[in-house]
């Protein structure tokens, strides 16, 4: 009984610990990369390229085929072992083994293996890009939750001040030192603040659900994140020039590498298509034998007596094929030009995107610095208004307005701070820092 109780307590402790788990940003990103459906689909695409390479390598191996047939003949038929005709009923069987090997096919087999390797590399880059995109989505959702939680703390902190003011003002009203209107004004502010707190709590829950859905976590009620220890961490990218960031992005970003591999694939397709202009040479070896019950010779002896071997070389020289090869070559050449244009467009798009990210990060930094200064000013104004209100030199309405401006300044600082954090991380990602190594 004692052991049962101990085991039950341990299981309960594990369960409670699991329910109270708070996910860090790194844990969320790693979980998303392991479970996200889009990432899994990209991983399947990568596995398909392994099959393509295996198939391409298999073209270098000889082909082996075995065939057999059994038939029952009635009426005028030819004996397959003698070639004589007779009107009778007999059973016949035949079997064969054929081997073939391509000695030369215009280097198409070699090009196919090379193409499969390029295709695998392109799929690997697409998987990397998908992981980067998912990591950013998760980081954005995570930061949104942190922002909503920070705003809630501001609202609760300021409402605690309001509660103190209500208690103090009520005492002064009862003592006749302040009019009842001041108490009503502060009570109205308290009601508004509590409504804002409820709205902020709802925003937190909604943002947590959105993040959980992105992670494919169904236990919304017990899902929560670690909301402490996240601040502005600059890896030095913000101080670099936009041209340097663009050059690093071109050298490291998967978008460009994917487009480059598409060009390489198109070039390889041209080589494969041109291989059809060349003659092809194939070696073959065949063995066949036959049996019939119309012959009194035993089965084993017939198989030995009636067998035969054929071997040789087969040469095929393309002379005219209705322009099919020429048309295929021209199509691959057009596709090559298209992929080159796509590569050029991707470079232009990346330049534009990085430049926009650079401007956004600089603008977010200025907004963050301005919000800090604004909060300092509102803090001084609020402290001054509070001192005047405490000694009865200002009314409750003016004090409430000053407090409201201070609250809004705190919330704006939170918004500017986390907006800058996210945009700085986007810039670092374009610079070449892996998504899993971004620091917050």
pLDDT tens readout for residues 61-100: 999 999 999 888 776 666 666 666 667 677 888 899 999 9
pLDDT tens figures, 143-155: 899 889 988 988 8
Q: How far is CA 429 from the centre of its chain?
A: 14
Asked if residue 29 belongs to a domain, the reply is yes
| pLDDT(185) > 90 | no
Domain that holds residue 399: 23-61+105-136+206-278+318-437
Q: Which of 118, 170, 150, 188 minimizes the C-alpha distance to 397?
A: 188
* Position 294 pLDDT exceeds 90: no
The verdict on residue 142 lying in a domain is no
Q: Let me know if residue 80 belongs to a domain.
A: no
> CB neighbours (10 Å) of residue 268?
20
Place of tokens 């998504």: 435
Task: Provide the CATH number for the domain around residue 352.
Answer: 1.20.1600.10
* Highest averaged pLDDT of the listed ranges 21-30, 81-90, 276-285: 276-285
pLDDT(125) > 70: yes
Q: Which two tokens stand for residue 96?
A: 């064969």
Output Rg (C-alpha) for the chain, integer angstroms: 39
**Any domain includes 84:** no
Q: Please give the pLDDT value at position 163.
A: 86
Residue 193 confidence (pLDDT): 86
Q: In this structure, is residue 324 part of a structural domain?
A: yes
Domain count, the chain: 1
Q: Would you list the DSSP string of 231-253?
A: -----S-TTS-HHHHHHHHHHH-
In this structure, is residue 184 part of a structural domain?
no
Pairing status of strand 85-104 against strand 280-292: antiparallel
Residue 13, domain member (yes or no) = no
Average pLDDT, rounded, for the chain: 85
Position 16 pLDDT exceeds 70: no
Residue 152 lies inside a defined structural domain of this protein: no
Is residue 269 within 8 Å of 115, Cβ to Cβ? yes
Q: Under the phi-then-psi rule, with left for phi > 0, alpha for psi from -120 to 50, and beta for the rest, what region is 176?
A: left
């Amino acid at each position: 009984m004692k052991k049962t109780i101990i085991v039950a307590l341990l299981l309960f402790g594990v369960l409670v610990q699991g329910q109270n788990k708070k996910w860090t940003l790194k844990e969320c990103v790693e979980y998303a990369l392991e479970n996200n459906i889009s990432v899994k689909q990209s991983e399947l695409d990568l596995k398909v390229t392994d099959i393509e390479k295996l198939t391409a390598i298999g073209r270098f191996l000889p082909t082996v085929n075995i065939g057999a047939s059994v038939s029952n003949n009635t009426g005028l038929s030819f004996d397959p072992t003698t070639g004589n005709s007779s009107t009778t009923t007999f059973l016949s069987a035949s079997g064969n083994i054929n081997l073939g090997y391509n000695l030369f096919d215009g280097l198409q087999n070699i090009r196919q293996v090379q193409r499969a390797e390029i295709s695998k590399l392109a799929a690997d880059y697409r998987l990397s890009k998908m992981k980067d995109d998912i990591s950013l989505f998760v980081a954005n959702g995570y930061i949104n939750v942190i922002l909503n939680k920070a705003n809630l703390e501001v609202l609760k902190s300021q409402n605690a001040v309001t509660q103190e003011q209500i208690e103090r003002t009520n005492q002064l009203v009862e003592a006749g030192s302040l009019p009842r209107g001041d108490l009503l004004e502060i009570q109205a502010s308290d009601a508004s603040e509590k409504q804002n707190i409820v709205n902020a709590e709802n925003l937190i829950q909604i943002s947590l659900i959105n993040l959980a859905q992105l992670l494919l976590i169904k236990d919304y009620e017990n899902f929560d994140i670690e909301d402490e220890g996240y601040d502005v961490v600059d890896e030095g990218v913000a101080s670099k020039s936009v041209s340097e960031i663009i050059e690093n992005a071109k050298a490291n970003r998967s978008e460009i590498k994917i487009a480059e591999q598409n060009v390489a694939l198109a070039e390889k397709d041209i080589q494969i298509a041109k291989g059809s202009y060349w003659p092809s040479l194939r070696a073959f070896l065949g063995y066949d034998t036959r049996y019939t019950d119309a012959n009194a010779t035993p089965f084993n002896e017939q198989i030995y007596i009636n067998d035969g071997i054929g071997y040789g070389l087969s040469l095929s020289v393309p002379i005219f094929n209705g322009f099919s090869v020429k048309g295929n070559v021209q199509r691959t050449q057009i596709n090559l030009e298209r992929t080159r244009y796509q590569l050029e467009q991707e470079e232009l798009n990346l330049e534009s995107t990085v430049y926009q990210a650079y401007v956004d990060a600089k603008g977010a930094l200025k907004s963050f610095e301005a919000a800090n200064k604004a909060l300092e000013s509102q803090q001084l104004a609020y402290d001054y208004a509070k001192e005047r209100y405490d000694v009865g030199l200002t009314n409750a309405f003016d004090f409430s307005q000053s407090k409201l401006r201070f609250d809004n300044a705190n919330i704006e600082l939170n918004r500017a701070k986390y907006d800058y954090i996210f945009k700085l991380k986007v810039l670092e990602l374009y610079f070449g820092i892996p998504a899993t190594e971004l620091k917050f």
